[in-house]
Structure 1
Amino acid sequence: MENARLTNRALLLPYLLPYLLYTGIAAIPRAWLGPELNYGARLVATAAALTWFWRRYAPLRGPHAPWLSVLIGIAVGLVGSALWIALLHPFVVRGGEAWSAPSFWLRALSAGTLVPLFEEWLLRGYVLRLAVQWVRARRAGAADAFDQAFERSSIDQVEPGAWTPLAIAISTTLFTLGHASSEWAAAAAYGLLMAGLWILRKDLLSCVAAHAATNISLAFYVRATGHWALW
């Protein structure tokens, strides 16, 4: 594979850039860029980055049947949606400002397609496996364990489903910190759920399917209930 010739340092930009573009555009004040244009810009910029670096990314499929991974992922994602709502509910005020129809559909589109891809590739595909390599280098007695993992190794050398407690803790913590403080409990629980799915199915496809199912079901839940603060 082409990626086998690339170190984790070289792979950092392809995995990180879509996330930075998405969150960077999201941070633009509404007075400068309205919600519809903001989400449109996120869709275009993030999709362009994912397309440009597509050959750099780890395979989504693992050793098991992909159709079963998708089905299991969707089922786990619906459980994750209920878990997210239950854990976030105590920290938000019911209601919230409703999104316009164009804003809702643009957000649902990005949350159900692009976000699951770039977040799972970054958190479970890159960060977790880089952390696994770092832990393994430390256990092997390497004095420069992180340098060895980051500068001289490739995450594509890590077998699907590989994990260590520390690797899960690191990836889950970073996933959690990427959310608002009111969402930390929900995000931490969800990050652990996705890590468990990675271990169980040994692929990223199930994690992406779960993440998409969670985001889409959450979008329609808040639209149906009017509890917009949950999204």
Structure 2
Amino acid sequence: MAAEPGSLPDFKMLALFGCGAFLLRGAGCTINDLLDQDIDVKVERTKVRPIASGLLTPFQGISFLGVQLLLGLGILLQLNNYSRILGASSLLLVFSYPLMKRMTFWPQAYLGLTFNWGALLGWSAVRGSLDPFVVLPLYLSGVCWTLVYDTIYAHQDKEDDLKVGVKSTALRFGDLTKEWVTGFGIISICSLALSGYNAHLGWPYFACLAAASGQMTWQIYTVDLSSRADCNRKYVLIPYN
């Protein structure tokens, strides 16, 4: 979106952001596993995670996190100053997200704020500033999109979450989950359309968006929220539209 109309994205920037997303999302997972080890051992799906299962010690986890953050810093330093500050500010979200399930029924919304920070950073890295008419609808779309797929994902753990005492949108929405995620899906698609329109994108963008919205609709209305296997299968498919 940030590339000049009619031009291909800068390959170096694509490579930097690809590596950066891999490293920083990985760092988020490491932080999550470190802070949640006492919870993970009590949940069927997560009890085999490396730290919870004892395969790795917390010190090894912290050491691995240090490597991830150091490599991420190396990537961030190659961007402009505006993007360095914007990127560094995301660490507050990354480090605090694992605590949200203990505090609110909306940790999936907080995850959306965290995971989709790149919607802001990608634009600023290319343009040197933010265009709110493009990046804010894009960011909102990502947050709502995350609420769709991670709420479905959370339905795998709802029984365990009740026993452990942690919160999720799966528990908050309950039997109305499909209505809620349908609403978030609509907001996500509409926000993507608005962002693309404001970025002056052509018809292929909107054709792909229509196809993606159809696929998301099918996923929402066919998911069996009482089946852990089906929730996991839909979770895997939805984020890669």
**TM-score scaled by structure 2?**
0.30
Q: Which has the higher contact order (CA 8 A, sep 6+)?
A: 1
**TM-score scaled by structure 1?**
0.31
